[in-house]
Homo-oligomer: A and B are copies of this chain.
């Protein structure tokens, strides 16, 4: 799970919270991806480009040459941190940690839609998006920790993130 663990510190989730969380995810173009090293189980953290599918779920593109690809093939459990800090205190900026299970996008219709969404958000990815070693993946959220500022946090369920 994500940041705050003490339930009494969590705020009540409202429709506004859900809308703000979805807006953050849909408005972001990159994510930090936590996976597990296949050999040791050591946590790994790397950067991915980010887009969302029609249900607002995170989708991303990976080369089979990358370490996080090997990690997710071995164990698909992952967490994505979305939301970049600006100037001043980095902990004052909203971010969401989505915990879930990643899966390659294999269905051709699904893949075509995801490819279009990704390309719309990352026009420069056209340089490599169709390379044979690249595949699209989706993070299927199980829950998320949404922090909107210092000490102000929400625990969201998968259904809270449904669009």
Interface residues of A (CB under 8 A from B): 1-6, 9, 29-30, 32-37, 41-50, 65-68, 70, 77-81, 83-85, 88-92, 95, 97, 99, 122, 124-125, 128, 145, 147, 150
Contact A42 B91 (CB under 8 A): no
Contact A45 B81 (CB under 8 A): yes
Query: What chain B residues lie within 8 Å of A88 (beta carbons)?
Result: 124
Query: Which of these, B77, B84, B147, contacts A43 with CB under 8 Å?
Result: B77
Contact B90 A1 (CB under 8 A): no
Query: Which of these, B44, B50, B84, contacts A34 with CB under 8 Å?
Result: B44
C-alpha gap A9/B54 in the complex (Å): 35
**A-B interface, 4 closest residue pairs, ranked by CB to CB distance from nearest:** A32-B32, A30-B90, A34-B34, A34-B45
Query: Which of these, B66, B79, B85, B150, contacts A44 with CB under 8 Å?
Result: B79
Contact B1 A67 (CB under 8 A): yes
If A5-B66, A89-B124 are given as contacts, then 4 extra A-B residue pairs at C-beta distance below 8 Å, sorted by A number, are: A3-B67, A43-B77, A46-B81, A128-B150
Contact A81 B47 (CB under 8 A): yes
A66 to B: closest C-beta gap in Å: 5
A100 to B: closest C-beta gap in Å: 9
